[in-house]
Every structure is written in structure tokens, then in C-alpha cells.
Structure 1
Amino acid sequence: MTNLPSARTGTAQLTLTSPTGEVLADQDVVIEQTRHAFELGNIGFDLIEHATGERHQEQLAADWLKLFNTATLPFYWGRFEPERGRPHTARLTAAAQWFTDHGVRLKGHPLVWHTVKAPWLDPLPTSEVEAVLRARVRRETHDFAGLVDTWDAINEVVIMPEFCNEPDGVPNAISRLAREVGRVGMVRLAFGSAREANPAARLLINDFDLSERYEQLISEILAAGVRLDAIGLQTHMHQGFRGEAQLLEVADRFARFGLPLHFTETSLVSGDLMPADVVDLNDHVVDHWPSTPQGEERQAEEIERHYRTLFAHPAVAAITYWGISDRGAWLGAPIGLLRADGSRKPAYAALDRLINQEWWLAPTTVRTDAEGRVPVTGAHGDYRVVCGPASATFTITPTPSQVRLVPVQQR
């Protein structure tokens, strides 16, 4: 383990004893890390077919699991419940169970959003839209409790009342409701309904607008007594890397709320950059957007800078990259860590070095002292100590700890 930022480093003083209470003095033991506390995430969209048994993608799954400990699953209403009353609950439950069985933490994205929403919602009167939306939020947080307990409860609410994309001439139902009840009202609806169904849920607000408008909205939400568990900050970078100075400025600015910061949607291009004059990234449509050798080297350098900067910031608790592969990537952009053929890009290797080498405590043999004690320093997270055929688990947190452990042989 090298170059571990101080904001991520903790210590634990272990005292090892036998089941009868005798200290295990002068014993060789192995200390190994099993998971980062920091949420190193990626979307799990690409692996749903594998997780449900619809398609075998063993190599893709192995590549995903090697780097990431947190998956974002898609709950876009229009795709989750394209026909009213027939949600795809069973399929996503199976996918969520697969990730959970592999030790992966889960987040659902999103519960309330004005885009990719159910088309059958638009013709309904606003009062019914509100009732159906509340029921939808309660249903998902209830049905997935215990599997998915973290949610982007509401997405891009800053622009929500202003959104007027109505290609069929029918006003967008969610934006229509937002214009009636206001932004704070929409947040209260989302968070309140979710907590009714799952009081233990961890709920985020999430947005791409990182301007003062978002800051002001968060201030208003907190002043209204709505509890936020974390703040989601999107950083899609199809037009170029934001740079360390801007990332730190954003993190410092939102850290003033005293809440964990989740950089929820990170992407970096390994091909030509999107023109700088494009305002809405969705408006940039090209027939083919290839990954290039030069772009891949740039992506690898920038992803390392991005992760190093945010991992070292004490307010940041999570980074989610928005895609493992170029196949099916958002906007058709070459933002994946794997090429469309499944081969690894240099960016994959860059993250692997950081996550699994620089920031990871590999199995290390140490010796207990005469009192059975051994100090451990490492990244915040979960660990195991192995003593012969027996083992025990412990956690390193930001607060130094003294832990008395009894290694037990597993049967």
C-alpha cells in the first residue's frame, strides 16, 4: 500500500486471544483487506443479463468485480414499468441478489425524474400523477428493502419545473407536477414517500447542475426540514476533463453542508471530445464515435487524476463511473474502461493500480507482541486477520480503535 491519502487512512490496535481468553503472544498472523469503505462504484446495467442468467458474460463480470464494490441499478420508470401495473420487479430483484451475493453494495437510480418516465403517466391529471408517483416511490423502496437501501431519490430537480420536451404534444407529467408543488415540494414528496416505505433507506439528491442554483436549492431543502443523507454531483466529461482545480472547488463548495458527497456519474472519453459549444450533451448525435489510441492514453491519465483528487478529499464518500464497456455506452461515446470487444483500455489498468495496489493492503504477515497485540494501519474498510486455521474480521474507521479479537476456525 502506497500513497494512501491521510483522509482515507486509519489505525486499529488488535489484541488476539484464544477462545479460553489466553493472549496469542508471539504468533505470526496474516492481515488482509477485504473491502474499501469508500464506495467505488459503476453502473451495473451491463451485467443485468448475466446476473439473471439470460446471457453468460463471465469475463465482463470478472472485470467489473475486480475494480468496483458498489453498483447502480436502473429504475428509470419508463423502462421499469412501461405498462402500468406491470413493473419489472422480479428481474431487477434477481440482478440485485446476484450483486449482493458477490459482496457488492447497491444503489437504485432514480426514483423521481422527469426524463425516461412512464409515457402512460403524461395524460393523467396532476392530482393523479402525484398519487401514482408517491405509490411508485413507496413500492420500489419497500420491495427492494434489504437489497437496495440507497437511492437517488430525485434526479435533476433544478431543471425539473423548466423541462418542456413534449414531442407528442402532451405536457411532461413530472415537470407539470414540479411546476405546481415547486422544487422543494418535489424533494419532500420523493424523500418522504421513500422513508415511509423504508425508514432505513439512504437517500440522495442528484444533479448535473453544480452551480449556485443547486446550492441554493439544497439550502432551501434543509431549511424546510427535509433530511438529505448525501449530495449527488454528476461529472460527465464528454467535452473534456474538468481538472483538479475545478473538482476541488466543487467538492469544497458542497462540503459546506456537512453531508457526504457522492460523485455519482463520472465519464471520460477515450476518443474525440464533444464540441465545447454543445449545451445539452444529448444533442450531440454522431453515427460512429470510436475509441482511439491517443484518446485512450488521455483517458487513462485523466481518470487517475480524477480519482486521486476526489479520493483524497475528506468530504467525498463515493465515486461512480458511468459504464464498464463501450458497448451500449451512454450517447454512444467511448467512455468505457473496456473496448466494445471486451479488451481492457489503459484506463482500466490505471484504476486497477490505484484501487488494488496503491490503496489496498495486500496479505501481510506480522507477529503479535508478548501481549498478543498487533497494530494495523490501512484504508478505511473491512479486514481479516488469519492465525493458522482460524480467522476474525475487523474494521478500520476514521477513529483509531482498539479491538479484542478471538480468531475462530470456520466449519
Structure 2
Amino acid sequence: MEDAPAYPVGLRLQGRRVVVIGGGQVAQRRLPALVSAGADLVLVSPSATPSVEAMATAGELRWERRAYRDGDLHGAWYALIATTDPAANAAASAEAEARRVWCVRSDDAGAATAWTPATGRTEGVTVAVLTGRDPRRSAAVRDAVVAGLRDGSLVAPQHRARTAGVALVGGGPGDPDLITVRGRRLLAEADVVIADRLGPRDLLDELPPHVEVIDAAKIPYGRAMAQEAINAALIEHAKAGKAVVRLKGGDPYVFGRGMEEAEALAAEGIPVTVVPGISSSISVPGAAGIPVTHRGVAHEFTVVSGHVAPDDPRSLVDWAALARLRGTLVLLMAVERIGAIADTLVAEGRAADTPVAVIQEGTTAAQRRVDATLATIARTVADQDIRPPAVVVVGDVVNVGTRG
């Protein structure tokens, strides 16, 4: 029997009695999946880990606080035996055999009538791997398959109709490894990708040859009409039945005009999926060794767009209020106006010697950081020829930690 391969099968346990004997670490790891399967769970154990006890308190299972006794498996469809008492495990296993209950044993896989596969789930797919008595290899194979399905490196064509629509995907700060797994998977499934200049460009090279890539920076009609033209392109391709990804840098809703695009698509009845991304306002300082908050140094951080100068009538920023704050100030799109911004902060009360760091092209191979103060940052940016994209950090956290 031990030489024969296990027969893989998926158990449908919803509403069916499942008995777990033992409330330790093994039960803690296995119980969540049984709860998700909708099993009628009974735990038999004198004690349990805090996590298992919390599941009982929440009503996810019934806990009988005692040791195993003969008859506990009556009416069970499946049993998990995981106590530290070998005699109790053997007795429960014998009862399972007598009652024809499929039984998993944590202490002796050879004596069990069932094995638990290494299982992973992604987008409606369950991956279960059995490699006999080598659970580490099972887990490694499972992880490789699930990771491939999630990030699109393992392509499994879907033989069902896809719903056309648009996914607004935050690509993160620039490093292609910092896009979310969902964002990467949607890229792999796209028919059309409309990409920002600041999106993770390296990901575009991984796309299949049939995917149409449109550079949003080159959509015609000029600067004033650019967003309207992008909206029109999204609508056009989605209405043609294509799966469209709008690939943005950072997060779609952090100075990314994501809501403008979502509203335009919704007005046309086009389904929209929003995939949040890692914002450069946090990730780029972190990559350069700067925490935006730190105990005893900064209890808040404020993210501000610097795309218009403080004295510009279009500005919605209360620079006087920002100057009075003691925490961290993170400025995006501010390099070209950093002199006017620094002068305004100092004029409104922020100390001229407040530390400032500028990180250009953060998280990429071209990342570089320069440090200065509010009094010297304009000259430093000019002398060092700092260009966008760059993130500016103002505050004492600049001097915390190590340089990235």
C-alpha cells in the first residue's frame, strides 16, 4: 500500500462533520482551510493555542475541552489527528479505520489513510501538490506554480469568455518587482496596455507579442488635452471588446488621475477594476534609507503635490499650515519648483536648517540621493542637476537611519 501513489481528490466538506483531535500548532495551520471549506468542525482537545481558541470563540468550530475517547469519530466524513499523545493518535486512527473515515495523522503519515497536500489558491484556481513523504518539496512546487499563475510567468489560457473592461493598475515606484501580483497577472492577460512614462517600463518587455502597447505620453492633442485623449483611448479599446490595462506609476489614486479615468469609463458603462500600487511617497524614501515616520522624531507625514508653485492661483495647498507641522513633508512633482517651495516654508516658520533629501528615480538602478537643508536645497538641486522623477523629503527623519 505504501508503494502505491496516492489518489488525488478534492473533498467537498460543506456542512459535513469533520473532527480534529488536538488543538496545537498543526491544528492551527489546518483549521482555517477547513473553515473556508464550510465543514461542520468539531475540535476535541483539552487545550488549544490562542489562535485556535479564538476560532472557537468566534463560532467557527465547536470545541470539546477533553481528551479523545472512542466514539468521537461517529458520523465524521474526515478526521485530522494531531495530538502529542501517541497512544491517543493510534486509538483514534484505529477508530477511523473501523468507521471508514478518511484520516490524516500528523505524527505518522504511513499510518494515515489520507495525506494533506501542499495547497495554494489564486483567482479561483486551487493548486494541490503531493510528493509522498517530502512535504518541503510539495510546498516548493506549490509555491512555484502559484507564484507563476499570480505574476503571469506561468500562462494558463482561460477557455471561457473574458469580460472586456479596464484595469487601472498601480505599477509602483519603478522597480518592476514592486508591482502587486494582481497587477502583474492582469498585465499578462491584457490585450491592450496604455502605459505612463513613469510606469515600470521593464514589465512591458515581458508582454506577449500580440499585446498592443500604447505610450500615454505620445497620445496626441497636446498637454491640455492629454487626459481627455487618454480617456478616449481607454473607452475605444474597451468598447472593442479588449481587456485593457492602464499602467500607472505609483498608485492610481495618488496624484495619478485614476478617479478621472474611472469616472469617464463608468459614464460609458465600462467595468473598471482598480489595483492599488505602492506609492512613491513612501517607498522611494524607504529605498533611500529614510523612514517617513520614526518614534520620537515624526508622528505624522504629509504628502503634497508640488506641480504648481505656492504662489500659483491654482494651488490648493495651505503652505502656511504645512510650515507649522513638526512631522515629515513628502513632496511629489516638486523638483522644478523646489526653490519657491523651500522659501515659502521658511517664510511661514519652518526652520531654514530643516534637513531635506531628494531621491531621483527611486527604486531603480539609476537611483541617487542628495541631501541639503531648506536654505540650500535649491542650489543643491541645480548643482547636482537633479531631474524628475524625484521625491523630496523634508524633516528630521532625513537624518535617521542609513543612506540607501
TM-score by length of 1: 0.26
Q: TM-score, normalised by structure 2?
A: 0.26
Higher relative contact order (CA 8 A, sep 6+): 1
Q: Radius of gyration: which is bigger? A: 2
